[in-house]
Amino acid sequence: MNLDEMLIYADIEHIHKIVENYKCQCNRHSKTEMIQTIIYTFFHKDTLDAHLAKIDAIEYTFIQLLYLDARNKYSMEDLIAKGKQALAFHDTTKKPRELVLSALKSGWIFQGVGKRNAFSYLIPQDVKKNILRIMGSRLNINLLSSDQNFVYRDERSLLVSDLASFLSYVSNESVILTGKGNIYKRQQKIILDAMLISEEPLGKVTWRFGYGRRYNEYPDRFSIIYDYAFYHKLIHEEESGYLYLTKSGEAWLNQRNLMDEEKKLYTFWIRLYKRPIPFLQLIVKLIDLSATNQWVLLNSIENEVLFWLKDHYYETKEMVFHERIIKMLLHLGVLQLGYQKEQAFIRVTEEGHHWVNGSANFDVKEIIMKKNKK
């Protein structure tokens, strides 16, 4: 629903609080006039911009958590959880409920009506569109962009093609597994060399975990390919020590839909990496707001995004940003990567923009993949 519909159903006390918050000049004994004034205030040029500029950093963090989320409907428990997340970024004595009450009087959220939404809180869709526009504009103030043409990497469709290459190899060759269940390095080398984006088998590594079932045994990109195939039961690890293509895998090779599989791979990556990177979807949304239809200097986006990242065991948050997010978004076809005078620029692809805004909501469940016990 849009703002006008929500105001019609809102109780008079809530409307009074919004009018008072924005210091609206109107007849406060007339619900109709108050609604008309609120709508005019919200969509008058620069009103929302000015209001967002005045709120403190804690409230702005809370609004980002609400509005960068793909959902438009929350329970009170969801809102309190968002409030706790926002407060965790700041040294404050504020309570989560204070942030929720402030959002209500600002008109960022409204209590639902009717049986389906009686215990829910809704975000007006037209207000959300404007808030996201303002957030994008605020981001762009601090970003360096370029309208010049230069050589760039674009890996759209390549991950699916290499998944097909891997499944074809498993179908046609005897793939032997070690006692730990991973492919021997010699065969890994053959598989990886046949791919459109080649990688080297891992050398000796001390610390490598947290991003998938076989992440500690395979290089980053192939790890995603392998875990995706295993999760969707396209391959099977036999106790006898062989890797087989399943019936589902055979059907996939014969009937795959390129665009559909690319989207599924993106969603799978979000779910797999969501646990070690809790705000992954929000970060990807910020990148989408920043780099859709324009080339943006990677370092300038990094400065805006690091706020939402933490070190992950042996990796700094800068490493997480570059190696676990940007590099994987490139492999997934969400980003293009170009260079100008040795500086890296990124741009969101058309397909990536659609996936970020439609394929994976913020409430998707994490995937936790465990190895078979030997």
pLDDT tens for 97-138 read 999 999 999 999 999 876 677 789 999 999 999 999 999 998
Predicted local confidence at residue 46, as pLDDT = 81
* Distance of alpha carbon 321 from alpha carbon 344, whole angstroms: 14
H/E element, 305? helix 298-305
Predicted confidence at residue 336, as pLDDT, reads 97
pLDDT value, residue 361: 53
Whether residue 139 contacts residue 18, with contact meaning beta carbons closer than 8 Å, is answered with no
Asked which of 21-30, 110-119, 127-136, 209-218 is least confident by mean pLDDT, the reply is: 110-119
Question: Coil, helix or strand for 85?
Answer: helix
- % of the chain surpassing 70 pLDDT: 96
Q: Is the pLDDT of residue 350 over 90?
A: yes
3-state helix, strand, coil in the chain (%, to 5): 55, 10, 35
Q: Within its chain, how far is the Cα of 157 from the centroid?
A: 20
360 — pLDDT class (breaks 50, 70, 90): very low
Q: Which of 160, 130, 178, 168 is nearest to 261 (CA)?
A: 160
pLDDT confidence of residue 313: 87
* Token output for 282: 């929000």
- Mean pLDDT over 186-213 rounds to 91
Identify the band that residue 363 occupies on the pLDDT scale cut at 50, 70 and 90: low
Per-residue pLDDT band for 145 (boundaries 50, 70, 90) equals confident
Tell me how far apart the alpha carbons of residues 283 and 143 are, in angstroms, rounded to a whole number. 15
The per-residue pLDDT for 197 is 96
> Quick one: angle between helices 298-305 and 280-291, nearest 10?
140
With 90 as the cut, is the pLDDT of residue 205 above it? no
Per-residue confidence (pLDDT) for residue 223, from 0 to 100 = 97
Strands 343-348 and 335-340: antiparallel
Average pLDDT rounded to a whole number, residues 271-281: 95
- At 206 the pLDDT is 66
For each of the domains in the chain, give its residue range(s) and CATH number, in order of start: 3-141 (1.10.10), 145-155+259-358 (1.10.10), 158-258 (no CATH)
**Scanning the structure block, which residue is given the tokens 């190895």?**
371
Q: Which two tokens stand for residue 213?
A: 């079932």
DSSP for 174-205, please give it: -EEB-TTSPBPHHHHHHHHHTSSS--PPP---
Per-residue pLDDT for 83 more than 60? yes
pLDDT band at 365 (very low <50, low <70, confident <90, very high): confident
Confidence of residue 224 (pLDDT cuts 50, 70, 90): very high
Q: How far apart are CA 359 and CA 148, in angstroms?
A: 31
Across the range 59-88, mean pLDDT stands at: 95
Q: How many Cα atoms sit within 13 Å of 167 on the Cβ side?
A: 26
167 has a pLDDT exceeding 80: yes
The whole-number average pLDDT for the span 247-251 is 96
Axis-axis angle for helices 350-358, 280-291 (nearest 10): 140
Which residues, at least 6 apart from 344, have a Cβ–Cβ distance to it below 8 Å?
297, 298, 299, 337, 338
Handedness of CA 340, 269, 249, 215 (dihedral sign): positive
Mean pLDDT over each residue of the chain, to the nearest integer: 92
